[in-house]
Amino acid sequence: MDEPIPLHRREFLKTTTGLLTGLVVAGSPLALIAPGRAWAVDMTTLTSSEAATLMAVARTLMPHDKLEDAAYALVIQAIDGEASRDENLRRMIKAGVAGLGAGFAKSAESDRVAALKKIESSEFFQTMRLKTAQILYATPMAYAHFGYEGEAYSKGGYLLRGFNNLRWLPEVPLEDSGPMPAEE
SS3 144: helix
Query: Which of 32, 52, 113, 123 is the binder for other proteins (CB under 8 A)?
Result: 113
Give yes or no for residue 154 binding other proteins (CB under 8 A).
Answer: yes
Q: Tell me if 60 sits within 8 A of 113, measured CB to CB.
A: yes
Contact segment (CB under 8 A) with other proteins among 17-25, 29-37, 39-47, 167-175 equals 167-175
Q: Does 171 bind other proteins (CB under 8 A)?
A: yes
Task: In whole angstroms, give the CA distance from residue 107 to residue 124.
Answer: 19
DSSP-derived letter for residue 42 is: E
Nearest to 20, CA basis, from 127, 44, 159: 44
Nearest by Cα to 76 from 25, 87, 62, 34: 62
Q: Are residues 69 and 22 in contact, defined by beta-carbon separation less than 8 angstroms?
A: yes
Stretch binding other proteins (CB under 8 A), from 40-48, 70-78, 94-102, 169-177: 169-177
**In the complex, minimum distance from the CB of residue 13 to other proteins, in angstroms, rounded to a whole number:** 25
Question: Is residue 108 near other proteins by the rule CB under 8 A?
Answer: no
Does position 143 interact with other proteins (CB under 8 A)? The reply is: yes
List of residues contacting other proteins (CB under 8 A): 60-64, 113, 116, 129, 133-134, 137-138, 142-143, 146-154, 156-159, 161-166, 168-172, 175-182
